[in-house]
Chains A and B, each alone.
Chain A
C-alpha cells in the first residue's frame, strides 16, 4: 500500500498538515515518536506553560489585588502538585483532541521514529525495535526542534533544566537562574517568581526579548524588574558547578572581564531551540540543509528532493506553532496541486507573561534599517477606560504605518491580553489595511481594544482620549 503523503512528526505543523491533506482527499499517514500527539507545543511547550502561567497569575493576583477590590481571602496557599495536575489535565485534553482529529480525518498514525529510507519510503522504528517500511508519494518533515545546548552546562532535567524540566518541577526553587532572556526564559521565570522563587535572568545581549521592538522591550524589562525579576544583561554563563547542594553558576561579562558566581537551586537553560533532524536519514535521502542546520526549502516548502517537503521549526524562520501550522496547510495544499501560501510578513508573536507582549509585522528598528519612512501612533493603557477600572494600566499599543500610503507595517502591544488583541492587527495587515482603516473601524466600549483604535488615530495625531 502506498500513501499520498506521510507526515513525520505530529506537532502543530505536522498534524495540521495531515488534516488539511486528508481534507483535500490525499491518503495520509503520520509518524510520531512520542506516546502522544501534539509535539513539543502540546506536550512540553506552549500548552503546559500556559496552564502554569494562568494558574500562577491567578495565585499572585489573589494574594496581591483581591483585597483592593474588596475580596477578602486569606493568604493563598500553593499546592504545587495540584497545580501540576491541573496542567497535566489540560495537556491531556489537548493531545487527545489531536488524536481524535486524526482519527476523524481517517489519517493512519504510526507510533515510532520515522526515517526517510529513500525518497518515497519512510521507515518507522517502534519502541520494541521492530521496523516497518511505508511507501508514499510525498513526505513532509515536521520533526520540529530541540533545546539548544550551551557549552559548559550539562542539562540533567533535575537541577539544570530545559523548558521541559522547568515545567515539571516538584518544588518551587528558592533561587532560579534563567539563562536567556527570550520568550521561554521570561515566561517560565515569571511562573516560578509568582510562585515564590527569586529569579535572576542572564542574557548575553544588552537587551531582553531579541527581535521585539526595542521600545517595547525596554518598557517590558522595567515592568518585569518591578515584579522582582533581576536581569544581568551583556553577560554569559560559562559553567554550572553541580557538585554541591547549591548550584554555582559562573557568570562573565559578554565582553570579557571578571567572573562572578551566582548560587541557584535550579538553572533553566533557555537559550533557544535548534532544528531536530537527528536520525531522520536526510543525508542518505540527499536532502540539503542550510548552514544553520535547518532543512533547506524553496518557496513552496519543498526540499531539493522532489516529493520531500519540510515545515515548522525544522526549517528557517520563527519557531512558532502558528507559523508551522500555516506552513503545514500550505504544504498540504501544494502537494494536492492547489496554491498554498504563507505570508511571512504577517506572523504574530506573543510573550505570555504579565503583561503580555504581542507584535506583528516590522519593528521600528527594522523599518529604520530598511530606510522606510513611517509614522508612529502610540496609545498608553493608562488612558484606556477599561484598563483603568481594572487597574491594569501597564503598557501601550504602538502602530507603525507607512508615511506615504498609511499602510500598517507593524503593530506592537505591551499590555494585558495583548496576545488576543494582536489578532485584529494581523487581519488588518493581511488585507493591507491603513492605520485609518483601523481608526475608522468601530471598536466596542469599554474594551482594551479601544487602545488599538486610539493608537491608529494617533498615527495621524488625532487620538481622542489623549
Chain B
C-alpha cells in the first residue's frame, strides 16, 4: 500500500484544492502517471502516482481543500481488477509517524488532533433528515462531534440561526455573498461557478495592490523601427543558432534591466518603514492561460544573454499553458512586464504585482504617422505604460525610467554598448 500525499507546494503555500481526479478508485495506474490535479493560490499542479498498481482509495474528493502532506489516496500493488475493499482513513496531519524514535520525553500537552471532518464521513441520520427538511446544507455547519462531525444539536442550532438572520447560513464564513437575488426569470439563466483558487488569489492580490500602493501610471511611446529591422535581419540566424524565435520580449527585458539599474527605486520595495533596494533583476513576465494570469519569473536577467531570456520565456509560456509551472518559478520577481499588445490593447494601466514597485505595460504595435526630420512618416509605434508605486518612485524617476526604455528600444545598439 503506497500513500499518495500532497507534495510540498513551495514557500508560503500551505494548502490546495483538489481540482480533479484523473483516475477513479479501482483504476490501474503506472508510476509517475498524473493522478490528481491540485489548485493552489499560485499554480495548478499534477500529482503523479508514486508507485504502479491500483488506485485503491480516493480519500479527498474534488473541490475539497487539503493541507501540505495530507493523505489524498492510496495505491495498492497489483493490477487493476483487484479492487480491495477500500478502508477509508481520515487524512492525518502530516509528519506523525506511528513509530516513535528514542526520544520519549513526554510532550507536556499532547498535540490535539486536528478537528477536520474526514471527507467521506456519512451524515448521522438525524442530520440527514434535518438537512433535507430545512435546506441547511450540513457540510457548511461546523461540527462539534468526534473529529468535527456534525451532530443533531449542531444542525438544530444552525437551523435556528438561519431562521433568525436573513442571510443564508449555508455559506461558509469565507464566502461572503451580498448579491441581491435576481428576478426569477433571470435567475434561471444565470450560471454560478465557484472561483478557482487561482482566480480567488488574483482577485485578492490585485485588490490588495490597489489598496496598498499609491499607484499611478505614466505613458510614453516607442518607435519600433530599429528593433523590428534588427529582428527581421537576424531572426533566421538567431533561431537556427539558439533554437528559439527572436521575439520582442528579450529586447524589452534587457531594456528594462538597463533602466532599472539607472533608476533603482523602480526595482525596490517597501518593508514597513524601510526601503529594500534589490541589486538583482528578476523580471516577471505575465502569461495569460485559460485559467487566469500567471507570472513566471526570469531570474538574473542582467546576467543572461538575450537569447537565454528568450529561451526562458518561451519555456515558461509553454509550461504555463500546460499547467506545469512550479511554484518557486513564480516567486521572487522584482519587476514585471505585462504585454496586453498580444490581445490588441492600444493602451492600459497595469496593476502592480505587489510588493513590487513597478510594472511595464507593452501594447500593440501600430503604424502611426510620426514626424521624423520635419516630415510625416508611417512608423510602427507602441505605447508604453509604467504603473508605479509613488510611495517609492518619484515622478521624475518614473518618467526617466520609461524614457530610458524607449531610448534603448529605439536604438538597440545601446544594449551592446551598455548605454
Contact = CB atoms under 8 A, between A and B. Distances in A.
**Same assembly:** yes
B178 interface: no
A218 B367 CA distance: 103
A402 to B, nearest CB: 7
Contacts, number: 94
B99 A407 contact: no
A26 B104 contact: yes
Contacts of B105: 137, 337
Interface of chain A, main secondary structure: loop
B118 to A, nearest CB: 12
Given A405-B156, A437-B125, A432 B144 contact: yes
Interface string A430-465: 111110110011000000000000000000000000
Contacts of A302: 106
A155 B4 CA distance: 64
Contact of B110 (A334, A405, A407, A441): A334
A391 B106 CA distance: 54
B153 A406 contact: yes
B304 interface: no
Interface residues of A, number: 34
B126 A339 contact: no
B111 A307 contact: no
Interface of chain B, main secondary structure: loop
A335 interface: yes
B125 A334 contact: no
A402 B107 contact: no
B101 interface: yes
Interface string A132-154: 00000110000000000000000
A4 interface: yes
Contacts of B96: 338
Contacts of B153: 402, 404-407, 432, 434
A300 B106 CA distance: 10
B109 interface: yes
A307 B108 CA distance: 10
B152 A406 contact: yes
A441 B129 CA distance: 13
B396 interface: no
A356 interface: no
A302 B110 CA distance: 12
Contact of B104 (A336, A340, A341, A432): A336
Interface of B: 96, 98-113, 124-126, 129, 144-146, 149, 151-153, 156-157
Given A306-B106, A405-B151, 9 more contacts: A4-B104, A24-B99, A26-B100, A307-B106, A339-B113, A430-B146, A437-B124, A437-B152, A441-B125
Interface of A: 4-5, 24-26, 137-138, 300, 302, 306-307, 333-341, 402, 404-407, 430-434, 436-437, 440-441
Q: Shortest 5 CB-CB distances between A and B: which pairs? A: A405-B153, A440-B125, A434-B152, A432-B145, A339-B110
